[in-house]
Amino acid sequence: MELSTRKEGKVQIIQLEGRLDVHLSLEIEQAVNDLIDKGEKFLLFDLAGVQYLSSSGLRIFIAAMRRLKGVDGSLKLANMSESVKKIFKVVELIDLFEIYPSVEEATTAFGS
């Protein structure tokens, strides 16, 4: 699987699509780990194309956040649908993440 990514300043924008089930999530988690290994510290996940998110998908963000904390990096989420937001709420992780309505707003929030 290839992640759709682009860089805006210091921010690595990662566009996710489809159903983040266990199969896809394991591949994405590895790809995100590779980005962090290459020195990317500021990750922005664009979730506009995510149809649904399982707990395997949640793991991508929790694992990335833990790794980024260790290198003074950070992670933000943008374009989350109501059904995806519901999953974060059910497991009470909604307050843990910085969530923005658009990629532009999230990118700005990273600062220069």
Partner 1 sequence: MEDKSNILTLDITSKTESVTHVVQSLENFCLDLKIDQKVIDTLLIATDEAITNIVLHAYDGRNDGKIHVSFQKDEKEFIIQFTDFGKSFKPLKIKKKTRLYKVDRLRIGGYGLVLMDTLMDELKFKYDKTNKANTLRMIKYLQ
Asked if residues 59 and 87 have their Cβ atoms less than 8 Å apart, the reply is no
Tell whether residue 56 is a contact of partner 1 (CB under 8 A): yes
- Distance in Å, CB of 15 to partner 1, minimum: 20
Kindly give the residue spans of alpha helices, DSSP state H, lying in 1-112. Answer: 22-37, 55-69, 82-90, 103-110
- Distance in Å, CB of 94 to partner 1, minimum: 10
Separation of alpha carbons 38 and 40, rounded Å: 6
> Which C-beta is closer to partner 1: that of 22 or that of 48?
22
Asked if residues 23 and 54 have their Cβ atoms less than 8 Å apart, the reply is no
Asked if residues 42 and 110 have their Cβ atoms less than 8 Å apart, the reply is yes
Separation of alpha carbons 89 and 85, rounded Å: 6
Tell whether residue 83 is a contact of partner 1 (CB under 8 A): yes
Q: Among 9, 66, 71, 101, indicate the residue that binds partner 1 (CB under 8 A).
A: 66
Tell whether residue 1 is a contact of partner 1 (CB under 8 A): no
Tell whether residue 71 is a contact of partner 1 (CB under 8 A): no
Residues that bind partner 1 (CB under 8 A): 19, 21-24, 26, 52-56, 58-59, 62-63, 65-66, 69, 83, 87, 90-93, 95-96
